[in-house]
Structures are given as structure tokens and as C-alpha cells.
Amino acid sequence: MANEANLAPFPAEAAESTLRGLNLKKKVRPHEVLIQGFLFLSGIISIFTTIGIVFFLSEEALRFFTYPEVSLLGFLTGIKWQPQIGQFGILPLLNATLLSSTIAMLVALPLGLCVAIYLSEYATPKMRNIIKPSLEILAGIPTIVLGYFALTFVTPMLQSLLGKSTVQIYNVFSAGLVMGILILPLISSMTEDALSAVPNSLREGAYGLGGTKLEVATQIVVPAALSGIAAAVILGISRAVGEAMIVAIAAGAGPRLTLNPFQPAETMTGHIVRISGGDLSFDSVDYNSLFAIALLLFFVTLILNLLSQRIIQHFREVYE
Amino acid sequence: MSEPNKSNERATGLSQVTSNQVLFQNNLPGRHRRGKVLGVVFLASTVVGIIVLSVLLIKIFNDTMGFAALEYKQHPDTLASGDKPLNEMTCAELLPILQGNVSANRFRTLEREKPFLDRSQKECYKLVIFEVTEPVIKETWSLFASLFRSKQIKATVTEKYPNAELTFKFWINQDFVTSPQSDDPLQAGIRTAILGSLYIIAIVTLIALPIGVGAAIYLEEYATQSRLNRIIQTNINNLAGVPSIIYGMLGLALFVRALEPIISGSVFGFSDPTTANGRTILAAGLTLSLLILPIVIINGQEAIRAVPNSIREASYGMGATKWQTVWSHVLPYSLPGILTGLILSVSRAFGETAPLVVIGAATFITFDPENIFSKFTTIPIQIYQWTSRPQDGYRNIAAAAIIVLLILLLALNTVAVLLRNRYGRRMI
């Protein structure tokens, strides 16, 4: 009661005047507006980067197609890339890119899948703690170092195994092998994520039906994570197609249309590296042709990446 | 597995149960065996990665030292006067040897480069070695070969190169790290390349940190679910997957060519004739910044997302504005994560080669870069250059440069791991 008595005389007019003095409008803080503007700009820079890539690649590529000796059809279907005689057919370069990427995937996919199954289904926490960091180290090694490895170790090893007459000093096979090693950590970690995302109830159900560990892993968990694995594979292909230094060092110079992986053949990226590394004058056919190759490369990798992201989103929706 | 299934279909009633049981029992050891075999296969393929990594490191280390057959134009021992070997003589004693063996013109040029009185004993010794004795590498051997087949190597040398002398050479040494570039693998060093790399990652850090963190804050704290913001997010994810060589092409067209007056520094009065138009450190730094920005942003977003919402709400409850909340609560909490991501991205930029080759790194510069408008070379570029040369000796210095690169990368990554371990736990 005493409290109430104390509160009661609180003057209503005083409260009103305090409230009247209080400005409840949002205070304008100029520096916060500025900061927000900067943050927005930082976010939008990425859009400008994409626009820049598309704009500059297209502009120079279009200029390439205005040269009299170049035609779009000839570019896409020609089987010779010899700028000296005005032959600009992308197929030899594309063929070498596909060949090396295929070899890389043949190495990385089975190995990566096995590593992921081992890490997610079999490994003890102790083993995981050893294996995962070493795979991360492998993923962090610069590609130039892997290129050196391909040229000075893998190629001589192949030569001593298969004979020097079969295996050339520069060949697509050793570049592809080492590229497979480069992609292995990517595939294994993405696949492992996909496998771990499979709900445990599926595993337990399979064990309850009497499945062995292997059966649960290969017949239940892997099929359930198939979309995630597909996303990993597609991203791996995209990485292999865009990889430059390993093929530039180990796969040899000079475009050549061959299906023999032990022959030298230049990939799209390898060609860009070799030509731009030399004395290149602006506004020459050579200069502009590089942008046409790069544009094609950009779209191929972009489509692969988008596909991979689409698949991942889809498979997240299923399990979350 | 298929055969039991077929027989199952044929069997009926009670007999099905018993035959199933029999088949199951008979099959069980086989299933377990298969499980064990494939378990071993899984483990083996996991070990493959580790084996490759070890082989790679051993191979590179193996190339950094070993026997080298050197052929001298004039053997150092014939120059030494008295009982004092060449490398113990003072500069004053070495000078007459130099003067007596090189042309007067060359001697004057050397004097002009740096007065002999200012040169240290070591510099004088090097001058005599490379100007007078002129060693040439005939062949080199790896460490393992040198250790286990030394007799064979010695026989080869006496047979193939009768004038050559076999010495054990450590390709990675103090001279290699501190001397500028050279055409001769015996004199070549990576000082200019190290400086170029450091300049570039300094620029990359200065640009990628504020913009990357800014974009991450914008996307996580400010962005509403608008169409534009969704496009930005998708776009960043896509940019992270664009091959690095494409960024090189962008850098070539945009920084080297379109913005040439700014990038070459001529706008600011830095029109140095030696700076090859727009192919400067600044161009390289900007290109690599664009390259790692998406990764910095994605890592930053993850770090910011890990900050518990209760912290933001507490801050708002105390009457803080959005920016005050972000600046004094969200950022300090997520900083270790952001920095870890930044360091990992920068270390990726550090090892990046293809975009720099494309924008036109100078492959041969002997002087240190002076400012951001100088020509540049980096360690990976040097490795590329030396690896592409087939002669013996270049491979060895390429391996030595790789060791330097890996050590620097290891240092960067150690910092990142330490940051993560030291501050990472506090967040949860």
C-alpha cells in the first residue's frame, strides 16, 4: 500500500512532457548510410566482374570472327588449328581438353568415391583426423608444382613402364593422371558430404534387415547420395576442363588431333598459356583467337557449374 | 546375388523358407569376405592420396641437391696463387686475377656496376668464379642417385665429360634466395620473384579484405530476400567456379589494355620506360583480387552465419543500431573465421600461375620491383619458366623454387590453423 501511495503522486504532466521531448523518429546517421552504401557496392562488384568477363571475352571474340579467314562454322568444326596458315578449328584443342579431363575423371572418380565411402562409413575418428588434413594439403598444393611432378616424375615413370617409343616426353596421359590427383580431394570431400547427409535411419533400417557394412554402404547409402555424387563429378569435370598449368607443362605444345593419350596434344587452356606467354601484340588474330577459346571455356565451365549447383540444391531439398 | 534370387522365385511355401535359410547361411561367409576385401580396397585408395603426396614431396626434395658435373673454362685451382684456395683470398688478392683474365672493357663495366672497393669478399669471389672460371653444368643427378650410385656417376663423368669436375651441389641455399634472376642456373636466384609475390599478395590482401568482408556483411546482415540479392548470391557462387585462366583474360583485356594509363602509372607521372605498358604488379594484384574475392566472400559469409543470433538480439535490445551491432559484435566474433578464410584464399593467390602468365608477367627481370607500377615476376612464374627448359640444372632450381614456395605457403597456412584453433572455439 505504501508503494502505491508513493507511485500515485507521480505527476502525469511530467510524464507527458518527457514523452513530448523524446523524438521517436528514426535518427538519420549519415555515416551509417555511407557504410551501407559501401557494403552494397562490395556486394555488387561480383556482378560487375561477371559482366566484365562476358563483355570483354565477347568483344574480343567478336572481333576475332570479323577476320576474313575466320568463320564461326570453321571455328567450331575445323580439325586444324594453325594460325600461321589461317586455320582456326577448335576441335584439336577441344579434343585434347576432353581427353585429359576424361583421364583425370577415370582416376579421380573411383578413387574419390572409395575415399569418401571409407571416410564416411568405415574410418574411425582417429583415421579421419589423419586422412582428411593430408587430403586438404594435397588440395592446397599449387598446380604448377603438380605440373612439375607430372613432367619430371610421372612421365619418366610411364616411359620406363611402357617404353620410350610409346610414351612421348610430353603426353596427355601423365597430365591427365596428375590432374586426377588434383581433383581427387574435391570429389572425395564433396562425395563425403553427400554420404554424411544420408539420414542414419536408412542405414539402421538396412542393418536391421541384416545387411553387412559393405552392402549398407554400396546398396543403400551410395544410391541415396547419388545426386550429390553427380554434382561432385560435374564440378570435378569443370575443374579439369579449366585447369591450365599441369597441361601447359606436361601435355606438350602444338595442337594435334589425336586420341592416343601418349602423344603430345595441346588443350584449350594450354594453348592460351603458351600463346599469351610469348610476345603477343594486341589486335592480332592470335590475340583475339585466345578470347574466342576463353569464351567457349567460360561457357562450358559455367554450364557445368550451374548444373552441379542445381543438383546440389535438389538433393538438399530431399533430405532437409 | 542374382542366382539365389532366381531359385527363390522358383521355390514355394515351406520349402522356400528352408531353402532361403540354407542359401543365407551358405552365402554369409561370402558376403563377409566381400565386405572385408572391399574394405581393404577403400582403405587402399584412401592411402593412395597420402602416398602421392609423400612421393611428390620426396621427389621435389630429391631434386634440390645432388651431384653436378661442372666444366670450367679455367679451373679455379689453377688461378689460386700459393697455398691459399680461391674462396679464402681477400678482395684485393682476387682483383688482379679478375683483371688479368677478363677484357679491359668488361672490367670497366663491372667497375661501373659497382665499384670494386665497395664489394665484399664474397662478391669478389663470385665475380672471379663466374667471370673467369665460367663453370658450365654438363649434367646433374638427384640426391638418391648421388647417394646410391655415386661410383657409377663418377665413371660416367670421367668417360663422358673428361674435363668436368663432380661436385655435390645444394641447389637451395642462401645465394639462391638472395640473388636476382640470371640466365645461368648456377647464378640464378629468386629474390625478384619473392619480392614480386609479396608485393602482389599485399595488394590482394588490401583489396580483397575490405571488399570481401563488406560483401559478406551485406549479404548476411543487410540483404533482404530481393531478386537482386539472390542474383548476387548465385553470381558469387558461379564466380567461385570460373577457371583462373578466365580471370587472366579479364585482367589482360581490362587492366592491362583498357585501363592501361592508370595501371601503368603514367597518369600519376610514373611513366617509367622499363615498365612494360600495363603489365604491372598492380594489374596482377587486381586480377588476383578478383579471382579470390568470391572465395573470401563465401568464407566470410560462413563465419558471419556462425555468430549466434542471441548476440545480435542482445545488442539491438540495448538500443544499438544495425551498424553498431555489426561493427562491435558480429565482426569481432566472426573475425577469426574471416581471417582464416582470407589467409587460405591469399595462399591460393600465392600459388596461382596461369592468370599471371596470361596478363604477361615478365619472365626475365634482374632488378627488384620498386613500386606497384613495376614489372614483376613471381615464384610460380619462375618455376614455370625453369620447368619448361629441358637442360640439366634448370629442373634443379625449379625444384628449389618449389621448396621456397611450399615453405611460404606452409607458413601462411600455419597462421590460419593457429588462428582457427586459438579463437575458433570461443565462438561456440
Residues B195 and B284 in one domain: yes
The answer, for A146 touching chain B at a CB cutoff of 8 Å, is yes
Superfamily of domain A81-319: MetI-like (1.10.3720.10)
Q: How far apart are CA B55 and CA A157, in angstroms?
A: 12
E strands, B42-159, are 65-71, 136-140
Evaluate whether residue B238 is within a structural domain.
yes
Examine the fold and report which residue of B114, B134, B169 is the final residue of a domain before the chain moves on.
Answer: B169
The answer, for A282 touching chain B at a CB cutoff of 8 Å, is yes
Let me know: does A248 contact A270? Beta carbons within 8 Å.
yes
State pLDDT tens for residues A276-300: 887 777 778 888 899 999 999 999 9
Q: How far apart are CA B49 and CA A141, in angstroms?
A: 13
Backbone angles phi, psi at B137, to 5 degrees: -75, 125
Instruction: For residue B49, give the chain A residue with the closest CA.
Output: A135
Q: Which of residues 228-247 of A touch B (CB under 8 A)?
A: 235, 238-239, 241-245
Contacts of B222 in chain A (CB under 8 A): 36, 39-40
Cα torsion A268, A272, A273, A277 to 10°: value is 160
- Cβ of A147 and B244 within 8 Å? no
Domain tally, chain B: 2
Query: pLDDT (tens digit, 0 to 9) for every residue of chain A, 320 residues total?
Result: 444 445 555 566 666 666 666 666 777 788 888 999 999 999 999 999 999 999 999 999 999 988 888 888 888 888 888 888 878 888 999 999 999 999 999 999 999 999 999 999 898 889 888 888 888 888 889 999 999 999 999 999 999 999 888 888 899 999 999 999 999 999 999 999 899 889 999 999 999 998 889 999 999 999 989 888 999 999 999 999 999 999 999 998 888 888 888 999 999 999 999 988 877 777 788 888 999 999 999 999 999 999 988 888 776 656 55
Sheet of B65-71: strand order equals: B136-140, B65-71, B164-170
Residues B219 and B143 in one domain: no
Q: Which helix (H) or strand (E) covers residue B87, if one does?
A: none
Q: How far apart are CA A285 and CA B29, in angstroms?
A: 68
What pLDDT, on the 0 to 100 scale, is given for residue B361?
Answer: 73
What pLDDT, on the 0 to 100 scale, is given for residue B2?
Answer: 43
Evaluate whether residue B209 is within a structural domain.
yes
Grid cell for residue B153 = 656417376
CA proximity to B142, closest of B134, B157, B153:
B153
Evaluate whether residue B40 is within a structural domain.
no
Evaluate whether residue B3 is within a structural domain.
no
Residues B288 and B209 in one domain: yes
Evaluate whether residue B117 is within a structural domain.
yes
- Nearest CB neighbour to A276, from listed B53, B297, B358: B358
Query: What is the domain-level CATH number for residue B224?
Result: 1.10.3720.10
Contacts of B408 in chain A (CB under 8 A): none
Coil, strand, or helix at residue B184? coil
Residues B374 and B264 in one domain: yes
- Cβ of A140 and B243 within 8 Å? no
The parent domain of residue B213 ranges over 191-427
- Cβ of A29 and B59 within 8 Å? no
Contacts of A215 in chain B (CB under 8 A): 31, 35
CA proximity to B420, closest of B328, B306, B337, B364:
B337
Contacts of B218 in chain A (CB under 8 A): 39-40, 42-43
Q: How far apart are CA A197 and CA A215, in angstroms?
A: 18
What pLDDT, on the 0 to 100 scale, is given for residue B16?
Answer: 53
What pLDDT, on the 0 to 100 scale, is given for residue B265?
Answer: 72
CA proximity to A225, closest of A301, A305, A116, A306:
A116
Coil, strand, or helix at residue B280? coil
- Cβ of A148 and B231 within 8 Å? no
Q: How far apart are CA B166 and CA B16, in angstroms?
A: 81
- Nearest CB neighbour to B249, from listed A149, A214, A294: A294
Q: What angle do CA B124, B129, B135 make, to 5 degrees?
A: 160
Question: What are the residues facing A81 on neighbouring strands?
Answer: A88
Beta-carbon contacts of residue B94 (< 8 Å; ≥ 6 apart):
B86, B121, B124, B125, B127, B128
- Cβ of A294 and B245 within 8 Å? yes
- Cβ of B321 and A32 within 8 Å? yes
CA proximity to A56, closest of A306, A304, A288:
A288
- Cβ of B49 and A46 within 8 Å? no
Residues B79 and B210 in one domain: no
Question: How many other C-beta atoms are found inside a 10 Å radius of the C-beta of residue B269?
Answer: 7
Helix then strand then coil, in percent of chain B rounded to 5, is: 70, 5, 25
Mean pLDDT for back-to-back runs of 10 residues, chain B (428 residues): 45 52 70 89 90 93 88 73 68 74 76 74 74 79 87 84 82 84 82 91 94 94 88 91 94 88 73 66 93 94 92 93 92 89 91 91 74 85 89 89 94 85 60
Residues B133 and B196 in one domain: no
Instruction: For residue A130, give the chain B residue with the closest CA.
Output: B50
CA proximity to A182, closest of A274, A112, A95, A229:
A112
Q: Which helix (H) or strand (E) covers residue B165, if one does?
A: strand B164-170
Let me know: does A169 contact A153? Beta carbons within 8 Å.
no
Residues B352 and B403 in one domain: yes
Evaluate whether residue B58 is within a structural domain.
no
Residues B332 and B410 in one domain: yes
Residues B379 and B270 in one domain: yes
In this structure, chain B runs to a length of: 428
Residues B219 and B257 in one domain: yes
CA proximity to A111, closest of A182, A193, A216:
A182
From residue A226, how far is each of A238, A309, A315, B344 by CA, in Å? 18, 14, 9, 30
State pLDDT tens for residues A26-41: 777 888 889 999 999 9
- Nearest CB neighbour to B243, from listed A145, A301, A306: A301
Beta-carbon contacts of residue A42 (< 8 Å; ≥ 6 apart):
B210, B211, B212, B213, B214, B215, B218
Instruction: For residue B38, give the chain A residue with the closest CA.
Output: A214
Residues B274 and B403 in one domain: yes
Residues B312 and B342 in one domain: yes
